Structure 1
């Protein structure tokens, strides 16, 4: 297999040769993800591993473990803090368990669109959050600009207007920013583990759930819930993270290789996500799913009215809240 990275061609044989150094000459890091092997984040991490091997001449090897083989997200994050887990690739929103401001990506309509969401994650505010995380909790964020795509609703009854949220039993992650936002919008927010969501829809425990369209399609929610509402209410980013004590044990060249590889993979990753979303929405339409579009500006306005309350409830820093509001269109 040939893998091209922005003009550099590295064959599978070359990668294998680079990774075949004697054990004493090679540093091996295990990278955990909660996503299944076919997920874009897993495939991107595997490409990153190949690029790191090339950049370091095989001195640094990343072993990729998808499907929660190393534990669930919170387990892996706690493990990085303790130094028992080396690397994790997943939504930066999970980091809110340690630095509350990271939960903000789970707040509807804090970002204008995908490009602006990514730019904010790449900017000084989120870099400052990442620096505090490394210093206080021993988790370093190498990159946080791998798009996860806009989150939309899929539901058993049509959701066409903001008023249709009233009383809607919607599955939300068991996290305060999601719960409180939808409660303030009048929905019956129902915290539920992701693993129980399909059954919850099937049994009528919930009437709706929300994720990026490619994720909704991959989990086959459309076979139960026949209405996809493109609200684009959330924009999260995937982060590449490493235990700080592991990071400090690496050479400067190895650290640079991790940063370079993560940055080089981002455009390819984000293109794949956008294409997957387009393909998923077409496939659902072909399966007879009712595709609904909303007045996004109106939804933004309705949710943003409640933002100051959410800031107080969740405990976001005033600096972050003021910055995000200054960026609103």
Structure 2
């Protein structure tokens, strides 16, 4: 794994070296990977991040964007970052829980209500401790963790109103334990796979369903291969911009400050864009023939309540609840 990561890092270095830029510019270039498409509001936030950093650093730090996982799967890019490559990835907490288990609680079911509450958690002292641990143990630096991609809902072929309706349904989900246990508790059979594989998998009946946020469903055109989007809101997807601790430490202090500040500011811009886009993309998907279904989510909340204790997050959830209540 390390050999592959070092090879990937070398490849990124070759890409940069081939651009004809100076050695100094190469040191201060950051290649940002995201599974999302260029049409997604989150990507617009990444563009703002790129432009603001360029302006404030007077071109000393160049941000290059790679949508649709052009640099590889999130896990692979994280390994490149751990090896010291000048890469970053917009990633969910479940994938970071591999390195610092506590971060995984952010992917738990019905943890908080909307962007403001999730942002409160990830700008708290509790989260800062997790971020410090991630840097020390895995060499990964969180630039900001306020990139709200929205609440995740069910994407199915048949109408769903209760957990029993998901019995036997093969549902795509990311491979992190908290996601898998949540989908299992909701009644479906979790089926991990990469996001870019979901459309053909639904089209070819390799899976029966998926779960994702509105803008991602729209961006991936899943409304062409699935009939229902059911508003369960079972997981709030707040993601983080994560880079190499080694690369970040190579920056002068003034440039570190700018990169971190603009990552936080851009995350807020992207999150506002996401919230503004939801009603628009829902209307577009309905126009294309997908049914957008509002249901009573109480049965799903009840079904997933035990996930925290099952994964050893029971006490940690109490700490998160204290952050949200201001205690």
Query: What is the TM-score with the length of structure 1 in the denominator?
Result: 0.83
Name 2:177's counterpart in structure 1: 176
| Counterparts of residues 122-161 of structure 1 (less than 5 Å) | 122-161=123-162
- Counterpart CA distance in 1 for 2:324 and 2:161 is 24
Q: Which structure is richer in relative contact order (CA contacts within 8 A, separation 6 or more)? A: 2
Q: 1:167 to 1:261 in 2, by over 3 A?
A: same
- Counterpart CA distance in 2 for 1:303 and 1:266 is 29
Q: Which runs of 5+ in 2 are unaligned?
A: 1-20
Q: 1:90 to 1:181 in 2, by over 3 A?
A: closer
Say whether the 8 Å CA contact 1:41–1:89 is kept in structure 2: no
Name 1:203's counterpart in structure 2: 204
Query: What is the TM-score with the length of structure 2 in the denominator?
Result: 0.84
- Counterpart CA distance in 2 for 1:196 and 1:24 is 38
Name 1:323's counterpart in structure 2: 319
Q: What is the deviation of 1:283?
A: 1.0
Name 1:23's counterpart in structure 2: 22
Name 2:98's counterpart in structure 1: 97
Q: Deviations over 1:108-155 (max 9, x none)?
A: 212233321221122222211111001111111010001011101111
- Counterpart CA distance in 1 for 2:75 and 2:24 is 32
Matched residue of 1:248: which SS?
helix
Q: 1:41 to 1:113 in 2, by over 3 A?
A: closer
| Counterparts of residues 36-75 of structure 1 (less than 5 Å) | 36-75=37-76
Say whether the 8 Å CA contact 2:227–2:291 is kept in structure 1: yes
Name 1:260's counterpart in structure 2: 261
Q: What is the deviation of 1:197?
A: 2.0
Matched residue of 1:97: which SS?
coil
Q: Report which stretch shifted further, 244-253 or 179-188.
A: 179-188
Matched residue of 1:140: which SS?
strand
Say whether the 8 Å CA contact 1:31–1:89 is kept in structure 2: no
Q: What is the deviation of 1:253?
A: 0.8
RMSD: 2.4
Q: Deviations over 1:74-130 (max 9, x none)?
A: 111111111124333333432122112222333221223332122112222221111
- Counterpart CA distance in 1 for 2:162 and 2:323 is 25
Matched residue pairs, number? 303
